[in-house]
């Protein structure tokens, strides 16, 4: 058994798919620890290897090499206990439309070998807010209710590790809020959360630690705060007296833009320039500053910088944020 403070431990995890024209390495020697009780983000572009990694942990894909341990159980030597320690909420709504939520959870509990006397079907339905819908066909549930039912399915065997694979893809804003309120409660109760998402603002808001993989390789793994702090970049937004319709010639050499609200936005590196220098340059251009605000680097900036093809996307992101 591994260290008691680690929920998921990967060492040299590798997955290679063999094809007629050669081999495709979906995962290349991944070393990763997910601390117990963490809200852990696993990020990467499409095809980076995130789903492959999750499916290996869930027992759906056979690894080519390396070691994977879930809650102290090696997936090779203790596969049943390892799978019993993890619940996966998939991106797809894989729910039988002619089963009721209660029937769905009972079937899932049976598949995991949970004895009838130990099942907590009604308690789980209540926890996800589906008590009133317990006996209606799943096909009649709203999108948000189906998402919550997926979480309930993943929790029938009370796993200590919950994997959320793109859980809010295609879900509207209010349903996302409802979903995250429930997940936050699970995390507060001690469940270790492993999240993959393309909504970087979700990862930045909820995750205390983030790993980024690209082309099957681990390229970053550290606290969210440390990851964001790594990028030496800030944006200062200035309100100019009388408004601003064009950038003065003397400021065009800087990374400047006019926001939709008519503010002057300037991106700079705090390690190389103090904000007072920027303000002095703006004043020297004959502009009167009436208000200002600053923005720290966002996780999106880090993600685009670290992953392949980031340079072009980064320019587009800068233009949008400025």
How far are the Cα atoms of 10, 95, 143 from residue 139, in angstroms, in the given order?
A: 38, 8, 10
CATH code for position 243: 3.30.70.100
User: Is the same domain home to 104 and 178?
Assistant: yes
216 and 268 together in one domain: no
Strands of the sheet with 73-74, listed across from one edge: 22-35, 6-19, 65-70, 73-74
Query: If pLDDT is split at 50, 70 and 90, which confidence band does 134 have?
Result: very high
Examine the domain organization and report whether 144 and 182 are in the same domain: yes
Band (284; pLDDT cuts 50, 70, 90): very high
State which residues form the domain around 255.
Answer: 232-296
What CATH number does the domain containing 193 carry?
Answer: 3.40.50.300
Residue 18 domain-assigned (yes or no) = no
Tens-place pLDDT, residues 64-96: 999 999 999 999 999 999 999 999 998 788 889
pLDDT surpasses 80 at 322: no
Distance CA 269, CA 240 (A): 22
Same domain, 132 and 264: no
Looking at the fold, whether 169 and 241 belong to one and the same domain comes out as no
Residues 222 and 245 in one domain: no
Q: Which of 187, 166, 170 is nearest to 36 (CA)?
A: 187
More confident of the two residues 152 and 91: 152
pLDDT > 90 fraction of the chain, expressed in percent and rounded:
55
How many folded domains does the chain comprise?
2
Shared domain check, 262 and 219: no
The answer to the question of residue 281 being in a domain is yes
Residue 96 falls inside a structural domain? yes
* 135 and 244 assigned to the same domain: no
In-domain check, residue 217: yes
Average per-residue pLDDT for the chain: 87
Q: Is 115 within the bounds of a domain? A: yes
Instruction: Compute how many other C-beta atoms are within 10 angstroms of the C-beta atom of residue 234.
Output: 17
Convert the pLDDT of each residue in 172-227 to its tens digit: 777 778 788 888 988 999 999 999 988 888 888 899 999 999 999 999 999 988 88
pLDDT at 298: 67
pLDDT value for 297: 64
Residues 138 and 236 in one domain: no
How big is the chain, counted in residues?
A: 322
Q: Mean per-residue pLDDT for 230-234? A: 73
**Residue 272 located in a structural domain:** yes
Kindly report the backbone phi and psi dihedral angles of residue 222, in degrees, each rounded to the nearest multiple of 5, phi listed first.
Answer: -165, 180
Residue 149's nearest CA partner among 100, 112, 188 is 100
Q: Which residues on adjacent β-strands are paired with residue 239?
A: 291
276 and 163 assigned to the same domain: no
CB 42 within 8 A of CB 213: yes
* CA dist., res. 264 & res. 262, Å (int): 7
Same domain, 222 and 244: no
Q: Which of 228, 258, 286 is where one domain is finished?
A: 228
Tell me, yes or no, whether 170 and 49 share the same domain. yes
Contact 165, 88 (CB under 8 A): yes
Choose the final residue of a domain: 182, 208, 228. 228
Among the ranges given (10-24, 135-149, 252-266, 306-320), the one the predictor scored with the smallest mean pLDDT: 306-320
In this predicted structure, the answer to whether residue 314 has a pLDDT above a threshold of 60 is no
pLDDT score recorded for residue 240: 94
């Amino acid at each position: 058994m591994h260290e008691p403070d680690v929920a998921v431990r990967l060492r040299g995890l590798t997955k290679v798919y063999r094809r007629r024209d050669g081999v495709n390495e979906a995962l290349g020697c991944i070393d990763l620890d997910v601390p117990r009780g963490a809200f852990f983000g696993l990020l990467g572009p499409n095809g980076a290897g995130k789903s492959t990694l999750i499916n290996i942990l869930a027992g759906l894909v056979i690894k080519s090499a390396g070691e994977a341990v879930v809650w102290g159980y090696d997936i090779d030597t203790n596969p049943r206990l390892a799978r019993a320690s993890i619940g996966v909420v998939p991106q797809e709504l894989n729910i039988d439309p002619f089963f009721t939520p209660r029937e769905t959870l009972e079937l899932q509990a049976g598949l995991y070998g949970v004895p009838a006397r130990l099942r907590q079907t009604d308690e789980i339905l209540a926890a996800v807010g589906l008590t009133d819908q317990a006996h209606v066909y799943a096909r009649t549930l709203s999108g948000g209710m189906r998402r919550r039912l997926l979480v309930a399915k993943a929790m029938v065997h009370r796993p200590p590790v919950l994997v959320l694979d793109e859980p809010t893809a295609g879900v509207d804003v209010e349903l996302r809020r409802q979903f995250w309120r429930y997940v936050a409660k699970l995390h507060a109760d001690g469940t270790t959360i492993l999240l993959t998402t393309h909504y970087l603002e979700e990862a930045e808001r909820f995750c205390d630690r983030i790993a980024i993989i690209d082309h099957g390789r681990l390229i970053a793994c550290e606290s969210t705060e440390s990851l964001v702090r790594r990028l030496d970049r800030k944006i200062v937004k200035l309100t100019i007296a009388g408004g601003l319709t064009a950038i003065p010639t003397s400021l065009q050499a800087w990374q400047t833009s006019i926001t939709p609200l008519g503010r002057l936005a300037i991106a700079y590196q705090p390690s190389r320039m103090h904000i007072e220098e920027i303000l002095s340059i703006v004043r020297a251009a004959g502009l009167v500053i009436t208000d200002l605000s600053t923005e720290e680097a966002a996780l999106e900036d880090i993600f685009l910088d670290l992953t392949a093809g980031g340079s072009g996307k980064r320019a587009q992101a800068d233009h949008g944020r400025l």
